[in-house]
Structure 1
Amino acid sequence: MQSAQQSSPFLKLSLLCISLTLAACQKEDPQQSVKPENKIELIQQDLVTIEQGNAISKTSFTGTIRAVNQSSIQAQVTATATNVNAEVGQRVSKGQVLVHLNNQDNAARLAQSQANLASTQAQANQAKLMMERKQRLLNQGFISKVEFEQSRVDYQAQMENVRAQQANVDIARKANQDGTIYSPIQGVITKRDVEPGQTVAAGQTLFEIVNPDQLEIQAKLPSDQQAALKIGQKIEYNIQGNSNLLTAQISRISPIADQASRQIEFFAAPNETITSLSIGAFVEGHILGTDNISGQKIPLDTIQSLKDQPYVWVIRQNKIAKVPVQILNQSYSNNTAIVQGLQNSDLISRIKFNDSDVKQDVSISQN
């Protein structure tokens, strides 16, 4: 019993030493498990150095291709089409007959007005003879001057009736002639809305004609960019479905802005020949300015979110950075852009990173 009590302090001391040893081991283990973070490795081909560059200022616009000369032909009278002499796609000359409209009422009115004119003209001739006869009698002293003046007044009244009837004849003839419709311009029929035997109403569109020999660009620009609009200003543009870069010159500018859209309409004459199939096609282009833009020249395809808050990934002081840029000029044909917002020592990364990679260390390999 006494020996057991003596050994108890030694047992407690041993247990305390073991506990301290284990605690020391537990503190050392985390230090042994810590490893240095790995750097993101890039090669020289992943990076692009910044160059100083110049470009011509450009103002973007959208529009369509239209014919300079085009016409929409409406019926002037209500009548029945007897002959239709034009088809869609057919080229017609100015003054060519397109359709005959038959309206018997207009023909009857013309005949009636012509008969009334003839009757009134005969009465005027009779009044003239009477006035001349009384002039001779007045000169011979057989009648009074008052009687002669009365005959002269009757003759003038008959002449006014003649002029009134002549106006009725002109109106009836015009209505009758409106039954024959001619082409007002030289061009190609693009729309036909009348068939033989069809009754058309006054004001109804029968044909649409365009002259494909002369086309132009019709576009609009916001009024706050009106400084870019000048007669003779050069334009670069693409037609929808055609990858070729074409050129034109501004030929006309609307003197006022549209009150609803606050945009200014302008027209441009193409320098290259455009086929008639492009009429109505969508156009996208730039108005070339006269001022040069200076900035930092980088590859266009390295810019992220090109149309909405553009930015680039750069290596700045051996760390990854996400830098917003202002695009001053861009060219898809040679994959270049002139921007502002970078430091000349930045290296543009062709590799796309994530936001979590920002400030991550980078190592650049020569191979």
Structure 2
Amino acid sequence: MHCADIATLSSSDDLFNQGAERAIRCIATVFKSSRIGERRDRLPVNARNVRANFGCEMGMHRTSPAGPEMSSTTDHHKHPARRCVIGAAVFAGLVIVALGSGLRPPPSDATQIPAGPLPRQLTSVEVIRLVPADLVEEMPISGTVTPVRRAEVSAQVSGLAGIVAHRPGDVVAAGDLLVTIAPEDFALALESEQAALQGTEVQLENARSKLDRTRRLRERGAIANSLLEQAESEADMLAADVAAAKARVRLAELNRERAELRAPISGILAARMVEPGQLVASGAALLEIVDLSTVIVEALVPVGRAGQLRVGQRVSFWPPTLPERSIPARITRISPRVAEGTRAVTVYMEIDNAAEGLRAGAVLTGRVELRVAKGRLALPQDAIRTDGTDTSVTAIRDGQAVSVPVSTGTVWNGGRLVEITGDLRPGDSIVAQPLVGLAPGDPVTVVGG
């Protein structure tokens, strides 16, 4: 094949491949010819003369028939076939480059840069997905947990502490024995008073028998009236002594009962201020029991905001140990006066703590539900544009920014959210805040959402 055939190739991919193959075959042919020429240089003079007329198909110079003695001393005169190889290689390379750059098919329409302005790319943070929501106006609040029922167990008699049955954290039931104070002493005192009562009652019986005899004698006139009066007085005094003795017995019984301190309510022992063998005085606080089945959260609310609160409003608290869990409560009482030394009003909120496990003294933070509107459309203030009396939002529809007129309604959450109505549909994408250079009609795409 002749090297000039390469010039007849067209610009298609198939012709490009064919042209490359032909160029390679041409180079191979020339290279083969050059090898023959080199072998000819090594032949005897007669053999070289036989092949003197051999030349390259590309029109290379013929070697001198006179042999190497008459040829030039330069390399290109010594090896004309090598010059042919170099020329053919350069020519074939140029052809391949030309075919690769000029004969390749143009790029398809899918890879071409589209005409017109590029879409403005917005991140998901810059766009709000409009959905109906339950709007809630809330007030932050925090307070301390206190039990609704608590009991301080104090000594009612003086003496040495005996049994101290429980420690803080123990669960106790109403009526359980907690502490004993000198139980033997009060038992002996009771026995003594009971014995004294019995003696006084015997004396009273004797006095009454004597009074009966004296009355009969007086009726017969055997004794003076003064003796009858004396017998009556003695009987009355002994009757009074019996009544006093009975009272002392009852007091001794009470002291013996009071020497045994029992739980007045069911709950948890919160504090213990007595140890066995300790001398306690009557009235000294010994134990504290709290009932945590129902607790109260006491909170101070500034006077300026207390007017928004009402008994019965719902409250949600989040315990510090379980911030993802909401504990329901309700306002049960609002103090009618400002707390001393503050400009705040005390608010009491009740929690059913049977399943919550809150502890007395814990601090809770929460929110009071002031008002609720269900299934409303609302946007942040920054997403709403106001131009004079016109109010609008920028929506993204069919890949374009569109200005949509709206009407505003109730303001929520301290002005952060505003109810809106207009030509809006749930699911619309709304630009969250003004963006420089974004105008209605501009192409827009949302990325990262």
- The alignment partner of 2:157 has SS state of coil
In the other structure, the counterpart of 2:365 is: 284
In the other structure, the counterpart of 1:91 is: 171
1:363 to 399, 422, 437: 437
Aligned-residue offset at 1:274: 0.5
CA distance in 2, matches of 1:224, 1:58: 15
Distance 1:240 1:328, change over 3 A: same
- The alignment partner of 1:173 has SS state of helix
Contact 1:62 1:283 in 2 (8 A): yes
Partner letter of residue 330 of structure 2? Answer: Q
Question: Does residue 329 of the first structure (1) align with residue 410 of the second (2)?
Answer: no
CA distance in 2, matches of 1:212, 1:291: 31
| Greater relative contact order (Cα < 8 A, sep 6+) | 1
Aligned-residue offset at 1:97: 1.2
In the other structure, the counterpart of 1:135 is: 215
Aligned-residue offset at 1:266: 1.7
Q: How does 1:137-286 map to 2 (within 5 A)?
A: 137-143=217-223, 145=225, 147-223=227-303, 225-243=305-323, 244-254=325-335, 258-261=339-342, 262-270=344-352, 273-276=355-358, 278-286=359-367
Partner letter of residue 245 of structure 1? Answer: S
Aligned-residue offset at 1:183: 1.4
CA distance in 2, matches of 1:110, 1:272: 43
CA distance in 1, matches of 2:234, 2:172: 53
CA distance in 2, matches of 1:215, 1:250: 12
In the other structure, the counterpart of 1:124 is: 204
Contact 2:296 2:348 in 1 (8 A): no
Question: Does residue 76 of the first structure (1) align with residue 156 of the second (2)?
Answer: yes
Contact 2:331 2:347 in 1 (8 A): no
Percent of counterpart pairs with the same letter? Answer: 25
Distance 1:98 1:270, change over 3 A: closer
Partner letter of residue 156 of structure 1? Answer: D
Tell me the TM-score normalised to structure 1 length.
Answer: 0.60
Aligned-residue offset at 1:63: 1.7
Distance 1:141 1:86, change over 3 A: same
Distance 1:53 1:196, change over 3 A: closer
**5+ unaligned residues in a row in structure 2: which ranges?**
1-119, 388-410, 420-430
Higher alpha-carbon deviation: 120-129 or 50-59: 50-59
Contact 1:78 1:103 in 2 (8 A): no
CA distance in 1, matches of 2:345, 2:235: 63
Aligned-residue offset at 1:75: 2.5
Q: Which has the larger radius of gyration?
A: 2
Contact 2:163 2:179 in 1 (8 A): yes
1:338 to 398, 417, 438: 417
Contact 2:172 2:267 in 1 (8 A): yes
Contact 1:249 1:270 in 2 (8 A): no
Contact 1:297 1:337 in 2 (8 A): no
CA distance in 2, matches of 1:132, 1:189: 61
CA distance in 1, matches of 2:261, 2:350: 33
Distance 1:233 1:132, change over 3 A: farther
Q: Deviations over 1:285-329 (max 9, x none)?
A: 233235769x99555xx9xxxxxxxxx799988xxxxxxxxx842
- The alignment partner of 1:61 has SS state of strand
Tell me the TM-score normalised to structure 2 length.
Answer: 0.51
Higher alpha-carbon deviation: 169-178 or 47-56: 47-56
CA distance in 1, matches of 2:272, 2:354: 30
Q: Deviations over 1:23-72 (max 9, x none)?
A: xxxxxxxxxxxxxxxxxxx9644656899998344333222333333322
Q: Deviations over 1:202-236 (max 9, x none)?
A: 34433322334344434344455454444433222
- The alignment partner of 2:331 has SS state of strand
Distance 1:328 1:154, change over 3 A: farther
CA distance in 2, matches of 1:204, 1:275: 30
Q: How many residues align?
A: 286
CA distance in 2, matches of 1:256, 1:137: 78
Aligned-residue offset at 1:254: 4.8
CA distance in 1, matches of 2:161, 2:246: 28
Aligned-residue offset at 1:284: 1.7
- The alignment partner of 1:188 has SS state of strand
Partner letter of residue 329 of structure 1? Answer: N
- The alignment partner of 1:55 has SS state of strand
CA distance in 2, matches of 1:53, 1:146: 102
In the other structure, the counterpart of 2:18 is: none
